[in-house]
Structure 1
Amino acid sequence: MHAIETKRLILTRAAPADAAALARFSTRNADHLSRWEPTRPDGYYSETAWHNRLTAYAPDIRAGRYLPLVLRFHDQPDVVGTANLSNIVRGEFQACHLGYAVDAEQEGQGVMSEALRAVLDHAFGAMSLNRVMANYLPENMRSAALLARLEFEREGYAKRYLKIAGEWRDHVLTAKLAPQPEELADRASTPGAVGA
């Protein structure tokens, strides 16, 4: 996979060589992200742990079942966010789950919106997926607003869906479907349309 570039960002597939940068990102943002994530064991954010995880993910990445991405500003080495397409299923389903995290200092700056628009273009374009699903905690208003801006639709509410911060938590279930040919034609013909 080639890098995905946006106006401000470059998104690359995470690899063991990114372990040190991901360790810095996750350590710097551990408190910021802890209320939205599962409880992490000691050492989870270390460079060695990241290297081991990324190495272990390699077969799923090669098989097209997982796509972890790191986000950086152009010409800057620090990771400012992550995005991943996981549980990628082909055949009659052609779907996956979307996950993401942004640096606390970049929250509210449009970084994740910019990145995820490019990720979704890649998912529905080069990857030919039909459905991308994203789920969030009911009180996570930032994720709710972000997914609404990206035109994800609420599809349900799952009780005790994931164990987050040590407790089984309900989640709002959303999804975005690949645009149909007629939708793409409408967008292209609308003056000033995004992506036109």
Structure 2
Amino acid sequence: MSAILRLFRIDHGPRIDAERVYLRLPRLADHKPWAQLRAASRGYLTPWEPSWPADDLTRTAFRQRLAAYARELETGEAFPFFVFRKDDDAIVGGVRLFNIRRGVSQTGVMGYWSGEAHAGKGYTTEAVKAVIDFAFGPLGLHRLEAACMPHNVRSADLLSRCGFSEEGYARAYLKINGEWRDHRLFGLIAPT
């Protein structure tokens, strides 16, 4: 079965469990709670993310997002996870492992977001740690990379708590909220 079809099924995987949260691939049925969380968190998220298209939260755009995720899953280039609180199955954020490179590098890049109402509660830290275990375990990656803007102290602290080390500084690294922004660069090597 193709990855596109799997994204629309109820029982697709992988599922990753942490103490208070679990992560799984997005499904079409996630659109409404995802869109509500993103809409409620728009002001909180936009300073840290690429500009949102005008139709970003629509069902049509969500279907397109799922199709793009499916293509990345088919090629093994990315694993997009939504993060859910175990207590009530509420979506609290997302973690995406992407730009997975095999061969001599065995590397991936990690990005994450949290809904504003769930920020500062440790859910994202748990989720990132769980994806690290997934990346270094079943995926067999050797290295993970992540980046955050210099003034995003909370994100830098999260990366440090999860074992990442700061490795450098990239000028005009990513276009965030419509402007090229400098970023602090972090890396994590699989334990030996």
Structure 1 and Structure 2 fold alike (TM over 0.5): yes
Post-superposition Cα deviations, 1:37-85, rounded to whole Å, max 9, x if no partner, equal 1111201122221121112321211221110000111253431010000
Residues 1:126 and 2:138 are matched in the alignment: yes
TM-score by length of 2: 0.89
Aligned to 1:87: 99
Task: Give distance in 1, aligned partners of 2:64 and 2:31.
Answer: 9
Give the counterpart of 1:48 among 60, 64, 71.
Answer: 60
CA distance in 2, matches of 1:79, 1:39: 22
Q: 1:59 maps to what in 2?
A: 71
Match of 1:168 among 169, 172, 180: 180
Kept in 2, the 8 Å contact 1:157–1:173? The answer is: yes
Deviation at 1:18, TM superposition (A): 2.3
The answer for the alignment partner of 1:152 in structure 2 is 164
CA distance in 2, matches of 1:21, 1:86: 23
Counterpart position of 1:96: 108
Compute the TM-score of the two structures, normalised by the length of structure 1: 0.87
Between Structure 1 and Structure 2, how many residues are aligned? 180
- CA offsets 1:90-110 (integer angstroms, 9 cap, x no match): 111111110000111121111
Give the residue type in structure 1 aligned to 2:143.
R
- CA distance in structure 2 between the partners assigned to 1:17 and 1:87 by the alignment: 26
**Cα distance in 2, alignment partners of residues 70 and 133 from structure 1:** 19
Which 10-residue stretch deviates more, 56-65 or 162-171? 56-65
Query: Structure 1 residues 9-18 or 37-46, which shifts more?
Result: 9-18
User: What per-residue deviation string (whole Å, max 9, x for no partner) do you get for residues 99-148 of structure 1?
Assistant: 00011112111111111111100000010001110000000000011111
Q: Structure 1 residues 16 and 92, CA, compared in 2 at 3 Å: closer, same or farther?
A: farther
Give the Å deviation of 1:173.
0.6
CA RMSD of aligned residues (A): 1.3
C-alpha distance in 1 between matches for 2:28 and 2:75: 17
* Shift >3 Å, 4+ stretches: none
Comparing 154-163 and 49-58, the one that deviates more: 49-58
Task: Name the SS of the counterpart of 1:51 in structure 2.
Answer: helix
Q: Distance in 1 between matches of 2:65 and 2:55?
A: 12
Gaps of 5+ in 1: 181-196
